[in-house]
């Protein structure tokens, strides 16, 4: 038997003896890895030319909750990790106050590469990037997807206006709240931001 055939049959034996849930977890991780590779080398829109690193997202798969921001900023572009700058630190505080554990949440953004000078993503950039988010939602299978801010709400739900969109579940799994950057600009929004996250925390357990 060749080396390759031996290796394949060892993998097949291992996977036959593996419980279904472990097999599924392994598939999820592999699917996410493939997707991350595609995102990291993506050239579907011109944003690739200015990126240091693409920021596919981070977190477990499956995960009961997913958070979706707008686009990576400077620190995210340098590290390849979502929400690690000032907005990320505020998000961490809010999650903690809401009794949520960041390590159990899949966190990503609509756009995976940093727009120049952190400008708002253009329509054509959102259109190119959205299939990656849709694929992530399929793989991660979250019970609740929380859209942070108008860019995420407009891209996914085709609606804007945080005040009007908060406090409801859209299309059975989507919720909308403020983007952490908006809360950084207006600290008065923090209490509502935390209470939105708290509500989602209780929903994901139902």
Binding flag, residue 82, ligand URA (CB under 6 A): yes
| Whole-number Å distance between alpha carbons of 113 and 79 | 12
Q: Of the listed pieces 79-87, 121-129, 131-139, 163-171, which binds ligand URA according to CB under 6 A?
A: 79-87
Q: Which is nearer to ligand URA, 59 or 69 (CB)?
A: 69
Binding flag, residue 183, ligand URA (CB under 6 A): no
Q: How far is the CB of 38 from ligand URA (least distance, A)?
A: 18
Q: Of the listed pieces 3-11, 69-77, 133-141, 184-192, which binds ligand URA according to CB under 6 A?
A: 69-77
Query: Could you tell me the sign of the dihedral formed by the alpha carbons of 29, 124, 153, 109, in that order?
Result: positive
Q: How far is the CB of 112 from ligand URA (least distance, A)?
A: 9
Contact pattern for ligand URA over residues 87 through 126, marking x by CB under 6 A? x---------------------x-----------------
> Are β-strands 144-148 and 65-69 bridged in parallel, bridged antiparallel, or unpaired?
parallel
Choice from 56, 59, 69, 115 touching ligand URA (CB under 6 A): 69
Q: How far is the CB of 84 from ligand URA (least distance, A)?
A: 7
Q: To the nearest 10°, the Cα dihedral for 12, 18, 20, 22?
A: -110
For 93-179, strand residue ranges (E) read 105-109, 144-148, 174-177
Identify the burial level of 197 via C-beta atoms within 10 angstroms of its C-beta, where 0-12 means exposed, 13-18 middle and 19 or more buried.
buried
Residues of this chain, 116-175, that bind ligand URA according to CB under 6 A = none
- Are 35 and 6 contacting, i.e. CB atoms less than 8 angstroms apart? no
């Amino acid at each position: 038997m060749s080396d390759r055939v031996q290796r394949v049959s060892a993998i097949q034996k291992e996977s036959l003896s593996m419980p279904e849930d472990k097999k599924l977890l392994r598939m999820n991780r592999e699917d996410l890895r493939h997707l991350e590779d595609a995102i990291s080398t993506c050239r579907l829109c011109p944003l690739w030319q200015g990126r240091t690193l693409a920021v596919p997202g981070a977190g477990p798969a499956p995960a009961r909750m997913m958070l979706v921001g707008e686009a990576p900023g400077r620190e995210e572009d340098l590290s390849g990790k979502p929400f690690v700058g000032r907005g990320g630190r505020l998000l961490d505080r809010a999650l903690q106050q809401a009794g949520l554990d960041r390590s159990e949440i899949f966190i990503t953004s609509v756009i995976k590469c940093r727009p120049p000078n952190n400008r708002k993503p253009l329509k054509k950039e959102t259109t190119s990037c959205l299939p990656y988010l849709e694929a992530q939602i399929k793989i991660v299978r979250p019970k609740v997807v929380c859209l942070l801010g108008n860019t995420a709400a407009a891209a996914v739900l085709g609606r804007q206006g945080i005040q009007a969109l908060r406090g409801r579940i859209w299309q059975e799994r989507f919720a909308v709240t403020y983007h952490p950057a908006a809360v950084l600009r207006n600290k008065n929004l923090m209490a509502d931001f935390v209470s939105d996250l708290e509500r989602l925390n209780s929903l994901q357990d139902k």
